[in-house]
Amino acid sequence: MMSRDDSSERGLKSLSAQIHEAEMQVLACRRSVRLSAGTLLHKTQQHMIAPSNLLLAGGIGFIIGELMKLRSSPPAHASDSGGAEMPRISGMLMDALHMFNKVSSLYAAVRASSNADETRGDH
């Protein structure tokens, strides 16, 4: 009978040890998730405030604002000059979008070049 009590006591210890181990694993996973979430948030913020991304977002916002302004304003006259004005403005907006794209590409190229120079200088 003594051996039966000993085996049940060992089983309880083993079960409580397993529970404790599972709790420790859950805590470790929670810490890992918090750390990963913090790292992801930091990297996302860094990408959002990069000058090239801010420039691109500003350009897109400007163009969308101008297009919304064009659509919401009622036509002043139904003459030929009003019809010619719309394609001219659209062309200007497309030119602005292409300019923003070129500036963004140029900035990205200069940034990549300077990063490559810094990397070569470290060796």
> How confident is the model over 44-70, as pLDDT tens digits?
888 778 887 788 788 888 877 877 777
Where do the structural domains in the chain lie, given as residue ranges?
1-49, 50-123
Question: C-alpha distances in angstroms, 25 versus 19, 20, 22, 37, 50?
Answer: 10, 9, 5, 18, 38
Which residue type, as a one-letter code, is found at position 102? K
Q: What was the pLDDT predicted at 1? A: 45
The C-alpha angle 110, 102, 56, rounded to 5 degrees, equals 90
> How confident is the model over 15-53, as pLDDT tens digits?
889 999 999 999 999 999 999 999 988 888 887 788 877
